[in-house]
Amino acid sequence: MKLLYYSLALYLSVDLTAAASRRESTEKPPAKPCTITSPTTGRLFDLSGLQVPRPDSVKSKNPRTHSWNATGYDIGYNFTLNICGPVIEPIKDVVGIEEHLWKNVSAYYKHSGKFYSLGLQNAEPVMRGRKLVLNYTDGSPCEPSTKRSYSKRGIDGRRKNTIISMLCDQDPLAPQLQLSFIGSPDECTYIFEGRSPAACASTAKKPESVGPASVFGIVALIAVLVYLVGGCVYSRVVLQQRGWRQLPNYDLWAGMFAFFHDIFIILTSSCARFLPSRRGYSRVGGMNGTTGGLGARGRSRGDSDAENRLIDELNEEWED
């Protein structure tokens, strides 16, 4: 019977370990938004700390009230962007964008009283070699460029988009993000550079899996269940036991329970002597001449004799 228990427990433990290994190798948790792991170095890039949340969704006392800005210098207008999220500024009448998509605009500029979208929200950075890049697409329709005559050909149907190249800045005194406008070669693609400590790679955290201690605990639990269930079945079917005697090794467990029960009785009986009782107040009354003191004194002696007899009986059982 014991051989059956051990074989079953070993089989279950091996099968459980193999299943855990298969699950770890096949199941991959979804990537956290605004993060990416480099396929070449295995390093983790997390830009989520650069996303500016809407003030009404932040519990802090002084939330940021504007998105990131970049100066356009010689082009006549500036840019407003957010990282991995839509801008928090209220915008409306965005050129070429349907109204229900205005809340998803992640980059824009305002020129001549009109809002132009440079792309909709995207929370998935990409790696271009060793470069960390964030793209926004599907912005406002592109306009013909006045910089190059050949840029007017094939411009119809294209929409404005944004490319943000994120660079690591390890300066401890550097701001959270330095965003710079690099250029727009065709007034359709807008290139920016962002420097931030958040763009520095860190060690990627491995997904949590079942460790050796957890596997050992699960195997031990299964072994206990096999012991109890198998022992009960064996005692009931083979030994024809009923009630608590169906438990495996019932005599052993019953003896251990009786042992601890006797120890508990001895300890509680010994500690009961130090507890306050009503006998003290009765004795005071007896000293003042009342007849209740004699009765209380007699009862106290009887209680003490009964306790002594109980302790003697327990000592004799212990010696036996």
- 20-76 confidence digits (pLDDT tens): 555 544 445 567 899 999 988 889 999 999 999 998 888 878 888 999 999 998 888
85 with 98: CB under 8 angstroms? Answer: no
Q: How far apart are CA 163 and CA 312, in angstroms?
A: 91
Q: In order of start, what are the domains of the chain with their CATH numbers?
A: 35-145+156-199 (2.70.130.10), 214-263 (no CATH)
Give kind and range of the element (H or E) at residue 305: helix 292-319
- 188-202 per-position pLDDT tens digit: 999 999 999 999 988
For residue 34, what pLDDT is reported? Answer: 95
DSSP state of 32: P
- 267-289 per-position pLDDT tens digit: 787 776 666 655 544 444 444 44
Average pLDDT over residues 84-112: 95
Q: How far apart are CA 277 and CA 307, in angstroms?
A: 15
Predicted TM-score (pTM) of the model is 0.56
Q: How far apart are CA 19 and CA 26, in angstroms?
A: 11
For residue 227, what pLDDT is reported? Answer: 77
